[in-house]
Amino acid sequence: MRSLAMGFPRCRSVHTCFMNYPIDVAFLDASGRAIEVHAAVGPWKVLSCPGAVSVLERPTPRGHEPPSLRLVAPAPSPPSYPDAA
């Protein structure tokens, strides 16, 4: 089953008041990378991340699997080092 994520630009905190299902929350930095991820957040919780500039939310998949970072942000590229010749 596929689920859609909701994005909240210019946001660094969320609440789950009145929610009747758990959600996965990813806080993103200015480059779009996930800097904090919370899986299966239940109702009546408040989350914040001071370094975030936006937030993604999605319903937690059945079975409460951890969220896939591929959904919220690409993995950073490994560093490249110049040849030491």
Mean pLDDT, all residues of the chain: 83
Tens-digit pLDDT profile for residues 5-14: 899 999 999 9
The whole-number pLDDT of residue 69 equals 45
The whole-number pLDDT of residue 70 equals 47
* pLDDT tens, per residue, the chain with 85 residues: 566 889 999 999 999 999 999 999 999 999 999 999 999 999 999 999 999 999 999 998 876 555 454 444 555 555 666 665 5
Looking at residue 20, the DSSP 8-state letter turns out to be: S
pTM (global) more than 0.75 = no
| Whole-number Å distance between alpha carbons of 64 and 1 | 13
Burial of 75 (0-12, 13-18, 19+ CB in 10 A): exposed
